[in-house]
Amino acid sequence: MTALRVMVVTVVHHPLDTRILVRQIAALIAAGHEVTYAAPFASLGVEPPEGVRALDLPRSSGRQRLTAVRAARRLIREWAPEHDVVLIHDPELIVSAAGLPDTVVVWDVHEDTAAAVAYKDWIPRGLSRAAASGVRGMERWAERRFALLLAESAYAGRFREQHAVVPNSTLIDAQAPPPGPGRAVCVSTLTRARGALDVIEVGRLLRPRGIVVDVIGPASADVSDALRRADLSGDIRWHGRLPHAEVVLRMRGATAGLSLLHDERNYRHSHPTKVFEYLAHGVPAVATPLPLVVDLVDRHGAGIIVPFRDPRAAAEAVVALHEDDERRIRMGANGVEAVRTTHNWDDDAPMFVAAIEEAARAGSRGPSSSRRRPSRRRPAPPE
């Protein structure tokens, strides 16, 4: 197929988001397509990646979202005519991409947004039901106008038509060292629902045993102070958000990877990506009993399942792996093989690229002389 020009847009996700940058954009470039990446680079202090044309946007966060949505709408309207496909990653951008003539828009559906509003701290508690209903209506509206990619097959029930499923699979670390003793790791967006306070308690319990807990990821406002205090006290080492390459270095060789998500509706039918990433790097998982995690970890003997909201059980599982070299190394090897056969991005990347190419074929009128070729100018960040 002729090389496509694809504009990838997010105002919610970090510009270094693994699904967007490390997997999807890399796959498009490897397939010979040109990529423009519009994301909140300046507001998050991130240098644009090499190999793409970068456009800056403000970040959508908390209740301050309208500015980012308006800026994205202006940017998409200006730059979409130069591209064959606009790939959006946030529900907010449904509004920004609405009503564009002759533009192929693909929405990559990352989560069950309506289920997630129940624990979004920026939505007033009394309005969460109305917000969820509004999200469902917006999804139905988007389905009639955009092509959709689903990160989970479980999301299909929310939509009337069939859509391509591109799993949030991961890359295999072919050179992963065996998991060693003395250090657990937690890679996550850190919130109460994702078990951030449980991880702190695990660190406190493991500290007397000489086991370090490295915590990596950005934190919501309601847990950030607790994480800072735990870091200062030495119960954990909180590194904040790190580039993907540094995350990989800190995961490799760890005793266990912690995934202590709570029993929330949005998580029950989703594959926690971080569990797959632990396993792909040869690190056994210590995880709570969400159905898909139990199926993976127990079936393949790739870690230990612990009860929800039980930091002591999680700490005991880490100690058990720390003290048993044979079990830890066996589980690490099992995890790599499990991901290689069930959740391998090398298998899913061609499917993703094919879905984008098919959307372009189905929705585009083809090359048009009225389309401007991409210029080399770089616009100032939107006000």
pLDDT band at 365 (very low <50, low <70, confident <90, very high): very low
Q: Mean of the pLDDT values across residues 76-88? A: 96
Give tens-digit pLDDT for 103-151. 899 999 987 665 555 555 555 565 556 555 666 778 888 888 899 999 9
Q: By the 8 A CB rule, do 284 and 179 touch? A: yes
Distance CA 300, CA 284 (A): 11
Lowest mean pLDDT among 21-25, 193-197, 365-369: 365-369
| DSSP reduced 3-state for 38 | strand
pLDDT band at 217 (very low <50, low <70, confident <90, very high): very high
Q: How far lies 296's CA from each of 31, 112, 191, 324, in Å?
A: 31, 21, 24, 22
Query: How many Cβ atoms are within 10 Å of 173's Cβ, its own excluded?
Result: 18
Q: Mean of the pLDDT values across residues 288-293? A: 94
Q: Mean of the pLDDT values across residues 190-194? A: 95
Query: What pLDDT sits at residue 224?
Result: 97
Distance CA 311, CA 326 (A): 24
Q: Which CATH architecture has domain 183-342?
A: 3-Layer(aba) Sandwich (3.40)
Q: Is the pLDDT of residue 368 over 90?
A: no
Helix (H) or strand (E) holding 349: helix 345-363
The radius of gyration of the chain's CA atoms, rounded to the nearest angstrom, is 21
In the chain, % of residues over pLDDT 70: 88
CA dihedral over 338, 341, 347, 352, signed as positive or negative: negative
pLDDT band at 272 (very low <50, low <70, confident <90, very high): confident
Distance CA 306, CA 289 (A): 7
Give tens-digit pLDDT for 55-68. 999 998 766 678 99
Q: 271 or 208, which is more confident?
A: 208
Distance CA 114, CA 171 (A): 29
Joined together, the tokens standing for residue 351 give 């499917």
Lowest mean pLDDT among 29-38, 48-57, 124-133, 224-233: 124-133
Lowest mean pLDDT among 128-142, 147-161, 246-260, 291-305: 128-142
Q: By the 8 A CB rule, do 168 and 271 touch? A: yes
Query: What pLDDT sits at residue 152?
Result: 87
Q: Which residues have C-beta within 8 Å of that of residue 61, sequence separation ≥ 6?
A: 12, 68
Q: 340 or 114, which is more confident?
A: 340
Q: What is the CATH number of domain 5-169+345-363?
A: 3.40.50.2000
Q: Which residues have C-beta within 8 Å of that of residue 377, sequence separation ≥ 6?
A: none
Distance CA 41, CA 19 (A): 17
Joined together, the tokens standing for residue 200 give 């702190």
Q: Is the pLDDT of residue 378 over 90?
A: no
Query: What pLDDT sits at residue 160?
Result: 84
**How confident is the prediction for the chain on average, in pLDDT?**
88
User: Hey, which bits of the chain come out as E strands?
Assistant: 5-9, 34-39, 53-56, 85-88, 104-109, 147-150, 164-165, 183-187, 212-216, 237-238, 256-259, 285-287, 303-305
Contacts of residues 93-97 at CB distance under 8 Å and 24 or more positions apart, as own/partner, are 93/9, 93/10, 93/11, 93/69, 94/138, 94/141, 94/142, 94/146, 95/69, 96/9, 96/69, 96/70, 96/72, 97/9, 97/73, 97/146
Q: Which residues have C-beta within 8 Å of that of residue 137, sequence separation ≥ 6?
A: none
Q: Which of 236, 241, 243 is nearest to 183 (CA)?
A: 236
Map tokens 């917000």 to a residue. 131
| DSSP reduced 3-state for 52 | coil
Give all strands of the β-sheet with 237-238 in edge-to-edge order.
Answer: 237-238, 212-216, 183-187, 256-259, 285-287, 303-305
Q: 127 or 281, which is more confident?
A: 281
pLDDT band at 196 (very low <50, low <70, confident <90, very high): very high
SS3 assignment for 121-166: CCCCHHHHHHHHHHHHHHHHHHHHHCEEEECCHHHHHHCCCCCEEC
Q: 126 or 379, which is more confident?
A: 126
Lowest mean pLDDT among 243-257, 311-325, 334-348, 356-370: 356-370
| DSSP reduced 3-state for 371 | coil
Query: What pLDDT sits at residue 381?
Result: 39
Q: Which residues have C-beta within 8 Å of that of residue 49, sequence separation ≥ 6?
A: 15, 16, 21, 25, 37
| DSSP reduced 3-state for 55 | strand
Query: How many Cβ atoms are within 10 Å of 1's Cβ, its own excluded?
Result: 12
**Identical topology for domains 5-169+345-363 and 183-342:** yes
Give tens-digit pLDDT for 87-104. 999 988 998 998 887 789
Q: By the 8 A CB rule, do 293 and 275 touch? A: yes
Domain boundaries defined on the chain? 5-169+345-363, 183-342
Q: Mean of the pLDDT values across residues 12-30? A: 95
